[in-house]
Structure 1
Amino acid sequence: MKTKTVFLLAPLLACPLAAQDNATSQLMTYGTTAGGTVDVFLSGVTPDSTTYILADTGLDLNNNTFLQTNFGTGDSQDTLSITGGPTFAAILSGTSTPSGTFPLNGLSLPGTLPHGFEVFWQGFTQHPTPGVDFFQDFSNYRRQVIHDGVQWQDTATLPSVAVANLAWAVKETGLNGRATKVFVCGGGPALLTEDTVPYPTSVTTWEYDVATEEHRAMDDMLESRAFHTVTRLNDGRLLVCGGVTGPFGGPPPAQYFTKVLNSAEIWQEGVGFSSVGPMNGYRAGHTATLIESGPNAGMVLIAGGVEGDVNHELFGVDEILSTGVNSTELFDPATGNFIAGPNLPEPKAGARALWLQNDTLAVIGGVTWRQIGPFKLPDFSDMATFLDPNTMVFGNTRNLLAKRALFGMVELPNGNLVLAGGAGGDILNIGPIADAELFALAGQQFISLPPMPGAVAFNGIAATPTSQVVVAGGAGGTIFDPVPVKSVYQLDALGTAWTTLADLPVEQGGGVTELLEDGNLLVSCGETGVADTATNSTVKLPVQ
């Protein structure tokens, strides 16, 4: 039974026992609209225990000692991260379930709460034994921000750097299988390199915590990089591979360039980064996907990418268009080594890859090239190829309806894929496209969708639990001169029409786009409207 109640606990004598660690349970809220409802879910608590969830309008990161002071527990860990005491804005109590959870559903949010109003939540359990064991299972604090459902809203803090062409991975997930923590690493000042402008790459990494809406600095990478990948392994470690590092060369009239990397490193909680590899090939703009079934389950397939010129250097777009590779390799987390994988049917860079619900790995689109005599003719790919994890052979190729690279691709709840935007056309007519299409998993075919209201490449994309698709930001202009945009489009669940949502506060292309556990869409960093300049703008919008 869960009730809204008052705090009627009697003071107890202190007992000198060992203190528990704070923040050992997890609390998340769902719902942010004034006048609507909010669900609160507390997990990781002692089963069948008296449980409290407190809410108030302030945060006290210096540790609120209300429990210690008023109930004499003698435990220095009995601290709250929210303000309040002896009264709180809300006090809810009941008994945790046998599985150690405490759900509260359909709580009313006052209709008078303004957009941007903050509510802070925290939970814990009470136990029969007096002393240090009286209060246990303290949760993280949860920052809930009231939203009008229309405007983009800033997160509580911003990343410490402004970068584009970064890499990110979902580090932890919640009850709904969506991100509760997002790991972000590296990046550069713009979407593409130019030989007239230096391209400094970053070693910086950080974590975005959905519960607190804050960014936490993490360990620096061993090597600065952009146009790279990061993949979460089954044991929670994070594999960072390849990319470019810079700047090198210059100043004018000498040309600037970056170097394509064959290095890789792994991040581990409490340890930081350590080197692995190197990879068998030099790669940037590749894909790196966890294999989820078959004899190589748990390994990562790294596929395609550009290798640069003979010295593995990139001066600009020309090398990106003509130095793609068709090789792949497997990373084995057990040994830390890379081994050769099956070749792709064609060279690919700027492709997209996903593990599908039918237990195959799809690698789709990208920048490719064809050999015409002694010449390489760059082109955009319309090929989708699928890896069988049991035979480790690519096959079952299908043709997209539109050639595309550097596009958005997302999986719907039913296993189908939506592809939207990207750079496309042919070598004589290169530019962003508005075309969208659906890959039907059951029929193994591509089906046309309505075009987006605007043509974009480098766009972010996400799918909601109700099968709506949101495309955020990206860049118009040309492939040689991308122009970041603010536009946000949403495709209805039937795939019949796009609508235009509120613009992002600033132009953003080539940053993070991730649907979060609480139903907000996160858009962070990317190149912005000032040429060769990135932003650290980080905003969210409810899209459920």
Structure 2
Amino acid sequence: MRHSLTLMVIVFAAVVLRAQGCGGQGNATLQTQAAFLGGSIAPVLAAAPGAPFIWYADFAPGQVTLPGIGTSCLAMSPALWPLVDGLGGGAPPMPASGTFSVSLGIPTAASLLGLTIYTQFGALDSSAPNGVAISNPVSVQLTIPDYALPTANNMSGFGTSLHRAVPLQDGRYTLICGGGSGNLTAPTPSNLVEMYDHYTRTFSPVSIMAGGPRTLHTGTRLQDGRVLVTGGIGSTTGNVDTGEVYDPATDTWTPVLNVMQNVRAAHTATLLNDGRVLITGGNGVFSTGPNGGFGPIFSSAYDTVDFYDPVTNTFMPAPNMLEKRIGHSAVLLPGGQVLLAGGVAGSFQPPIVGFPPLPVYATAGEIYDPSVNAFSPTGLTPVSRIVGVMNVLPSGSVLYAGGANGPLLCTTAAADFWDVTTNTWSPLPTSLPTDVALAASATLADGSIVITGGGQGCVAMFNSTTDVTVFNPNTFQFFPKAPLPAPKGSHTISPLPDGSFLLVGGLDASGFAVSTGYIWNQ
């Protein structure tokens, strides 16, 4: 059986198909980290203790049926080579711990930047199908720190901004749904959906949203791995009050059985620890007034809140927030509560003939506590803002930075800090290097926060930037990093299993939505 597996891999390579969706079988897993030129990488293989195994690498992905064994996700190209051969090459079997790791040095040659290696291993295991466990496939792309490489392709169906990117449970796949093509002030909502596969580093179309086009909607991964999408701006009906659930196992969308209390866009949806989703605020209208002002948008802000219950697949009313909010931020705190801050709460008509209504901002933060099913105040935020970034720090406190504020919705560099021990806000002593709104942020492995792209300007006429900034929660300092390869605003950033991050879509330097993706490493 040992030699037959080796021969099957080399000789019985059947039809090579695309590797999108190709997976493993049985009890075998493979994990890697980002691979930097001049550094090293230590992949971790896990399989049955004592199992003989063979570990291959190739320069192309594939999907090859191995009769009597299973499916390989390698292309079986002439460049295929064994990294470890415990079947015919004399290498020892899987250690008694059930894990094997080896440090592999990476050359420094700049010509190797962007080279991608595809890898997978198989191990003899009587409990696996056909007696062979085959690991999940993994790709390793050679890169350098503080750098972004393009994905292997662009989204095929659409350029998009104000979309939603939701990492699925295994981390390999990220669902990209909806969003607006065109520009920021007049987006054309889309019902298109694509799946990013980090093994092939490609986007592929999947089933469109059954409920119609959406932008400024929400996307939330549920505890069972499905994805809830709610509200947003529809194509012809304005903002919508519907929701639907995507099942990645069947590539199908199922409508929520009822509707929310209100149509909603620019709202938030936060997964609670009990599996429900807290849906807050948003607004009812996305259209300008007779003088081109945003008064109708501002004045239709809501303080209403809905729950989504995945058990019954229904929405149900929740207690109202303390303030109306549109374009606000919400994060789940370590204790299971939800912190909300920012947003516009309404509009004000200045006593000037022909002057458009101005925004009235929500002035304080608030916390939803599911144990008492109520909102409570946190005090005034130092800076009122809309479309900023909010991230939980390792201490449990929260960073709230950037966004737009003032009567003309001008971008700001201000940063605020919510202290979990005192439930109070204070301005940080330092600000972002540049003012920015509609940026995308994520938490790095060391607890730092990376803030990418965004736009600068006023009255939603934002010029997208290439800025990348990292906030150090230990020193409370912001540090500028190397710029992105191209400007991005209203885009998304999502964590990937090797510690890198996926940046998708957004607005380019001309203010129009793009279909590009990048993989950024710290």
Short-chain TM bin: 0.7 to 0.9
User: Residue 78 of structure 1: CA displacement?
Assistant: 4.9
Residue 9 (structure 1) aligned with residue 7 (structure 2):
no
Pairing 1:365–2:342 present: yes
Map of 1:60-79 to 2, 5 A cutoff?
60-61=61-62, 63=64, 74-75=67-68, 77-79=70-72
Q: Which residue identity lines up with residue 245 of structure 1 in the other structure?
A: G
| CA offsets 1:138-175 (integer angstroms, 9 cap, x no match) | 123222111122432111222222100101222124xx
In structure 2, C-alpha distance between the alignment counterparts of 1:265 and 1:303, rounded to whole Å:
17
Q: Could you tell me how far apart the structure 2 residues matched to 1:221 and 1:451 are? A: 39
1:330 deviation in Å? Answer: 0.9
Instruction: Tell me if the contact between 1:82 and 1:141 (Cα under 8 Å) persists in the aligned partners.
Output: no
Alignment match, 1:330: 307
**Superposed CA offset, 1:266-323 (max 9, x none):** 111215012112222110001111111xxxx2111111001118999xx873332221
Structure 2 distance, partners of 1:274, 1:79, is 33
Task: Tell me the distance in 1 between the aligned counterparts of 2:490 and 2:245.
Answer: 23
Aligned pair partner of 2:141 in 121, 145, 148 = 145
Q: 1:348 to 1:46 in 2, by over 3 A?
A: same
The amino acid across from 1:265 in the alignment is E
Counterpart contact for 2:264–2:282, Cα < 8 Å: yes
Which residue matches 1:171?
168
Deviations 1:321-374 (A, max 9, x none): 221100001111111221111101111011111110022111111111268999
Inter-partner Cα distance in structure 2 for 1:412 and 1:443 = 15
Counterpart of 1:216 in structure 2 is 204
Shift of 1:510: 0.9
Q: Which amino acid aligns with 2:442?
A: A
- Structure 2 residue aligned with 1:466, among 422, 435, 446? 446
Give SS of 1:280's match. coil
Map of 2:227 onto structure 1: 238
Q: Which runs of 5+ in 1 are unaligned?
A: 1-6, 15-20, 69-73, 174-178, 249-257
Question: Could you state the TM-score of these two structures normalised by the residue count of structure 1?
Answer: 0.82
Please name the residue that 1:41 is paired with. 44
Give the counterpart letter for 1:28 in structure 2. Q
CA distance in 1, matches of 2:183, 2:5: 60
Task: Give the drift of 1:435.
Answer: 0.8
Question: Is this contact kept in 2: 1:406–1:458, CA < 8 A?
Answer: yes
* Cα pair distance change 1:81/1:418, threshold 3 Å: same
Q: How does 1:85-484 map to 2 (within 5 A)?
A: 88=81, 90-91=83-84, 95-96=93-94, 102-112=99-109, 114-127=112-125, 133-134=130-131, 136-160=132-156, 161-173=158-170, 179-190=171-182, 192-194=184-186, 199-222=187-210, 223-246=212-235, 248=236, 259-268=238-247, 269-276=249-256, 277-292=258-273, 297-308=274-285, 317-369=294-346, 378-425=359-406, 427=407, 429-449=408-428, 450-484=430-464
**Correspondences of 1:511-526 after superposition (within 5 Å):** 511-526=491-506
Label 1:236 to 1:402 Cα distance change in 2 as closer, same or farther (>3 A).
same
TM score, norm. by length of structure 2:
0.85
Equivalent AA in structure 2 for residue 210 of structure 1: H
C-alpha distance in 1 between matches for 2:239 and 2:122? 50
Aligned counterpart in structure 2 of residue 27 of structure 1, from 14, 27, 30 = 30
Structure 1 residues 492 and 46, CA, compared in 2 at 3 Å: closer, same or farther? same
Deviations 1:156-197 (Å, cap 9, x if unpaired)?
A: 222222100101222124xxxxx4322110000256334xxx
C-alpha separation in 1, matches of 2:178 and 2:287: 25
Residue 339 of structure 2: SS of its match in structure 1? strand
The 8 Å contact of residues 23 and 137 in structure 2, kept in 1 or not, is answered as no
Matched pairs, number: 491
Give distance in 2, aligned partners of 1:325 and 1:102. 53
Residue in 1 aligned with 2:16? none
State the AA in 2 paired with 1:243. Answer: G
Partner of 2:517: 538
Look up the SS of the partner of 1:403 in the other structure. Answer: coil
| Separation of aligned partners in 1, 2:414 and 2:296 | 26
In 2, the alpha carbon distance for the partners of 1:98 and 1:388 equals: 46
Going from structure 1 to structure 2, the CA distance change for 1:381 and 1:121 (only over 3 Å counts) comes to same
Cα pair 2:218 2:232 within 8 Å, conserved = yes
**How much is the aligned-residue C-alpha RMSD, in angstroms?**
3.3
Looking at structure 2, the residues matched to 12 and 111 of structure 1 have their Cα atoms a distance apart, in angstroms, of: 32
SS of aligned partner of 2:298? helix
Alignment match, 1:17: none
Q: Is the 8 A contact 2:70 2:130 kept in 1?
A: no
Where does structure 2 lack aligned partners over 5 or more consecutive residues?
A: 9-21, 87-91
Gap change, CA 1:132 and 1:505, over 3 Å in 2: closer
Q: Report the secondary structure of 2:365's partner residue.
A: strand
SS in 2 for 1:442: coil
**Contact kept in structure 2, 1:439 and 1:447, CA below 8 Å:** yes
1:172–1:182: 8 Å Cα contact kept in structure 2? no
Report the alpha carbon displacement of residue 83 of structure 1 after superposing the two structures with TM. Answer: 3.2
Contact 2:298 2:347 (C-alpha < 8 Å) held by counterparts: no
% same residue? 24
Once residues 464 and 104 of structure 1 are traced to their aligned partners in structure 2, the CA distance between those partners, rounded to angstroms, is: 24
**Structure 2 residue matching 1:259: 3-state secondary structure:** coil
2:215 and 2:166 map into 1 onto residues whose CA distance is: 14
Residue type of the partner of 1:382? T
Q: For the residues of structure 1 that align with 2:275 and 2:33, how far apart are their CA atoms? A: 32
Please, which moves more after superposition, 386-395 or 270-279? Answer: 270-279
- SS of 2:395's equivalent? coil
- 1:505-531 per-residue CA deviation (whole Å, 9 max, x = no partner) reads 221111111232212122110111123
Which position in structure 1 is the counterpart of 2:480? Answer: 500
Residue identity opposite 1:346 in structure 2: E
Shift of 1:262: 0.8
The superposition leaves residues 478-534 of structure 1 with CA deviations (integer Å, 9 ceiling, x where unpaired) of 133122111111223424432222222221111111232212122110111123x21
Structure 1 residues 13 and 503 mapped into 2: Cα distance closer, same or farther (>3 Å)?
Answer: closer
Is the Cα–Cα contact under 8 Å of residues 32 and 44 in structure 2 kept in the other structure?
yes
When residues 352 and 92 of structure 1 are mapped into structure 2, their CA distance, relative to the original with a 3 A threshold, is farther
